[in-house]
Structure 1
Amino acid sequence: MGLLDGKRLLITGVITDASIAFAIARTAQEQGAEVVLTGYGRMSLVERVARKLPTPPPVIELDVADQGQLDSLADRVREHVDGIDGVVHAIGFAPASALGGDFLATPWEDVATAVQVSTYSLKSLAVATLPLFPETGGSVLGMTFDATVAWPAYDWMGVAKAGLESASRYLARELGPKHIRVNLVSAGPLRTMAARSIPGFSRFEDAWSGRAPLGWDNSDLDPVARSSVALLSDWFPATTGEIVHVDGGFHAMGV
């Protein structure tokens, strides 16, 4: 038996087969889940990537900044599954001016975009998918990068992630009575397309060298995928509002 036998999952944020979302989708399928993906922008690319999964899943379009698409999301998901038991929020974006080390010069318009897409969208996605959850509840899972400290070049995305972490706790409070758990996975630096778009990303990678007590392989998505699947399963029935660090232990170490 798989950890997710009988579970139906909606997974956002699949861009390439080197994305965290793709790794979660693959591991979830291997553990018995039925998966539906969402994509944005180049849908043909997302559909091509989806075909690389063990069981090619349906792909639907979702722009989390488009209220019309959010409003229709539940109906469009129901065209493929009769409900969901979990949703993965793996969405983040910041304009170029919001990254790279010129924190003081970023205009509000670009900050607002980063916050809407990377932070507020967790709430938007949770509300849009709420009608799909059974009365027994389920799991909402998001991805973060430790927002308790300031990172070089991460700038307003770091601020957006801090907001995401706070939003997840408020969502945990609001959705708990509906038996829906809300948690985040805080991963160490991984060489995804999103990471490569961050100027100076190598400085993140260098920080992990020698400091993570378990070591850290920035090309291995499996630890994050497996931890995510565990949180989406029934094996964490009383865990919500939590941030699970999957970073080799880096976050717990001093200099």
Structure 2
Amino acid sequence: MSGILEGKRVLVTGVLLESSIAFHTARVAQREGAEILLTAYPRPSLTERVAQQLPRPAPVVALDITDEGQLAGLADVVRAELGGLDGLVHSIGFAPQDALGGNFLNTSFESVATALHASAFSLKSLTSACLPLFGDEGGAVVGLTFDARFAWPQYDWMGPAKAALEATSRYLARDLGKLDIRCNLVAAGPIGSMAAKSIPGFAELAKVWDQRSPLPWDVSDPEPVGRSVVALLSDWLPKTTGEIVHADGGLHAIGG
């Protein structure tokens, strides 16, 4: 029995460690038949090492998502590795430390701009760089967010950055629909990745999540989120775009 991504070519960004959602997305995608290419930043050697832990070792290309020169050459690099694309996974978010941890009122615009560029505008710039790789049958772009409807403790300027990401996804869905390219996001619950652990107060947030979510939530298990991303990459949701799918144990549906 073939997998739901059989024959698909997918570029996955944001794989740094085995604990990352992006790594588990790549693993599930391979298991479902996809051919995978990973991007790496800031230390390609780390991603190359982790790529060997996938069911099939995947090639890795260096990419700084804020570097216009690297973005301009990305299509040629991906084409040389995969020939084209059917799916793209945006798993990138970054904010300087002074934009997190209760410093919301004092953060400089320079740090806010860095967070917005890396975490939100990058969805548009990455997608635009990869557009020449999609064929006549279109494909899917899937990004990762952390529900931006709420002001989370300690999350500070990453909250507005995720809100901008969510709006960017909707506008991309609007403009890419004519190319039969869908753009959706998965709103994940807290996962104990290195990026998450760099957020002050993450441990406290993660501790209460399982107590409040209707379904059991395991902060050490990114695979359910990865499966949700793979489902959106597949042809099983052919008319779903501009959507945010929650993979958070259902906590988003529960009041305080």
Classify the TM-score, shorter chain: over 0.9
- Matched with 1:83 is 84
Aligned-partner residue type, residue 39 of structure 1: A
Q: Secondary structure at 2:83's aligned position in 1?
A: coil
Are 1:193 and 2:194 an aligned pair? Answer: yes
State the Cα distance separating 1:38 from its structure 2 match.
Answer: 0.3
1:62-141 correspondence runs (5 A):
62-141=63-142
SS of residue in 1 equivalent to 2:185: strand
2:185 maps to 184
Is the partner of 1:80 in helix, strand or coil? helix
Match of 2:17 in 1: 16
Report the Cα distance in structure 2 between the residues aligned to 1:137 and 1:117, rounded to whole angstroms: 26
Q: Does the 8 Å contact 1:191/1:219 carry over to 2?
A: yes
Specify the code of the residue in structure 1 equivalent to 2:3.
G
2:40 matched residue in structure 1: 39
List structure 1 runs of 4+ shifted beyond 2 angstroms.
none
Distance 1:206 1:226 in 2: 23
Cα displacement (A) at 1:202: 1.7
The question of whether the paired residues in 2 share the 8 Å contact of 1:181 and 1:241 is answered with yes
Distance, in Å, in 2 between the alignment partners of 1:240 and 1:100 is 33
Gaps of 5+ in 2: none
Question: CA contact under 8 A between 1:152 and 1:203: conserved in structure 2?
Answer: no
Which residue of structure 2 lines up, in the alignment, with residue 234 of structure 1? Answer: 235
Counterpart of 2:83, as a letter, is D
Q: Secondary structure at the match of 2:137?
A: coil
Shift of 1:44: 1.0
Q: Partners in 2 of 1:17 and 1:44 — Cα distance?
A: 14
How far apart, CA to CA, are the structure 1 residues paired with 2:234 and 2:81? 21
For residues 197-216 of structure 1, the aligned pairs below 5 Å read: 197-216=198-217
Instruction: Name the structure 2 match of 1:152.
Output: 153
1:210: Cα distance to partner? Answer: 2.3
For residues 208 and 177 of structure 2, what CA distance do their matches in structure 1 show?
Answer: 36
Secondary structure in structure 2 of the residue aligned to 1:60: strand
What do you get for the CA RMSD once the two structures are aligned? 0.7
CA distance in 1: counterparts of 2:227 and 2:76, whole angstroms: 29
**By how many angstroms is 1:177 displaced?**
0.4
Write out per-residue CA displacement over residues 4-27 of structure 1, whole angstroms, 9 at most, x where no aligned residue: 000000000000011000000000
2:191 partner amino acid: L
Q: C-alpha separation between the residues in 2 aligned to 1:206 and 1:41?
A: 30
Counterparts of 1:140 and 1:25, CA distance in 2:
14
* In structure 2, C-alpha distance between the alignment counterparts of 1:82 and 1:160, rounded to whole Å: 33
1:62-96 deviation digits (Å, cap 9, x = unpaired) = 11110000000000111111101000000010000
Deviates more, 1:175-184 or 1:44-53: 44-53
Q: For the residues of structure 1 that align with 2:28 and 2:163, how far apart are their CA atoms?
A: 27
Residue of structure 2 equivalent to 1:143: 144
Q: Residues of 2 paired with 1:85 and 1:14: CA distance?
A: 19
Equivalent residue of 1:209, what SS? helix
Inter-partner Cα distance in structure 2 for 1:54 and 1:149: 37
- Does the 8 A contact of 2:210 with 2:218 survive in 1? no
